[in-house]
Amino acid sequence: IRLVRPDVPEPIIEVMERALRVRPEDRWPNGDLMRRALIDAALQGGVAPSEDEVASFVEQIVGARLASRRRTIEGSLEGRASPLVTMDPGTSPSEPSVTLGQAAAPWIGAMGLLAAAAAAGVALITVGMTTAWWYSHDGAQAETTRVPDTPLLGPTITVALAPVNDANVMLVDYEPLRVWLEKKTGHPVRMLPAATYGETGKWLLDGRVSLAVLPPYVYIEATRTPGVTPIAMKLFDGSTGTDGVMLVRDDSGASGAKDLSGKTVCMADPESSTGYLLPRAWLRQNGVDPETSITVRITGNHFQSIRDLEQGLCDAAGTYSGAWLAAEEAGISPARFRVLAITGRTPHDAFCSGPSADPAIVKQMQDALLSFDPKRDLGVDRVGDAERITGFVAVEDNRWDDLRKALAAEKSKKPK
């Protein structure tokens, strides 16, 4: 794309290149995630066509087919014989047999993005239509989907996610909860992974997002600002907290902190509690200066820290017990590592609202989160193989007090 059309905005190129990667596992997991990424890329690239332009483009490309399917839906709704709606019989045998219902809006949304791309002169039609057709088809996912009882109304609720683990894994893990929150609140809900922990808090403070799921360190820093309000804390496999751990490979000869002197230690992010703050505090407490005695390798997220440890890019990794236990989700065998030490304990991530959030919407989201029961509401024991969400509880701010003390102590020891 860069060679043929150097005027195409870089964010759009990045989305397209991911869609065209050789290995399927490196591409977008499903069409909806690609659609969301294209929306963000279009906005970043200054592509913002009017509704009239979008409507005109969609009509040119698929107007007749959409009209046919609309008649199918209306006929089904009149009879109310079945809550399931299938595509019209005219679908080509070479195309996946998908259904409308919830798939219709994202499909049309993807076409709208094609219109946005067309307005910028970007040729995304082939990949965009492939993405649209394959929406709701990921592995053995069901081939039918229910028509929503009521349309989603009002402003989109955007929730920032800190990059605790791989962005793709987090989006897939949060997807069932996102869909349920839409149904519960009646608002469109969008999950937006940030590039860094700090960016998550910044987006919340500057109003780019209404809500953010804040890890403990970022929670402490963000809640210093008036108007940042914690509304619910995540339960991970039923627990309200997690252990920070220092991992080494199973064949490592290290038996304590001093064995890491002169070595490389992987850490997730400078604003991660279990992936930076607690490992450094543990090293100091055990006679190893993290400023001078080790080399720190910042990896960006916990899964990447464990992955780099596995590949020999570091000799130890500061992370949290949940990431180690769920590492298999990222293609890493947990059995290849052992815990050198428990570095401390932190509360789990908390949903927080920002200063500019609409109080009525915040209350809706809080009520929805605190009432969420994955077994009752979704028929599963937990949401996500890595996030492992089993519900939410009210926030008790004193849970962060021990971490606040550790943060203050660490800041006092860092060179000016």
Residue 49: is its pLDDT beyond 80?
Answer: no
Check residue 300 and give left, alpha or beta (phi > 0: left; psi -120 to 50: alpha): left
Choice between 405 and 266, residue whose per-residue pLDDT is larger: 266
Residue 114: is its pLDDT beyond 60?
Answer: no
**What pLDDT is recorded for position 397?**
92
Question: Which residues fall within 8 angstroms of residue 125, CB to CB, at 6 or more apart?
Answer: 61, 114
Report residue 30's pLDDT band, with 50, 70 and 90 as the boundaries: confident
Instruction: List the structure tokens of 223.
Output: 């809640």
Q: Where are the beta strands (DSSP E) in 42-177?
A: 157-161
> Is residue 117 packed enough to be buried (19+ CB in 10 Å), middle (13-18) or exposed (0-12)?
buried
The b/e string for 260-288 (b: 16+ C-beta within 10 A; e otherwise) is beebbbbbbbebbbbbbbbbbbbbbeeeb
Residue 83: is its pLDDT beyond 50?
Answer: no
Strand order in the sheet with 189-193: 189-193, 157-161, 211-214, 350-353, 229-236, 389-393
Question: Which residues fall within 8 angstroms of residue 343, CB to CB, at 6 or more apart?
Answer: 243, 244, 245, 246, 274, 278, 279, 281, 282, 318
For 58-70, what is each residue's pLDDT tens digit?
766 666 666 666 6
Q: What is the pTM of this model?
A: 0.62
Report residue 307's pLDDT band, with 50, 70 and 90 as the boundaries: very high
- Candidate from 100-104, 167-171, 380-384 with smallest mean pLDDT: 100-104
**What pLDDT is recorded for position 81?**
39
**What pLDDT is recorded for position 42?**
82
Q: How far is CA 226 from CA 53, 213, 229, 356, 403, in A?
A: 41, 17, 8, 11, 20
**What pLDDT is recorded for position 222?**
94
Strand partners of residue 176 = none
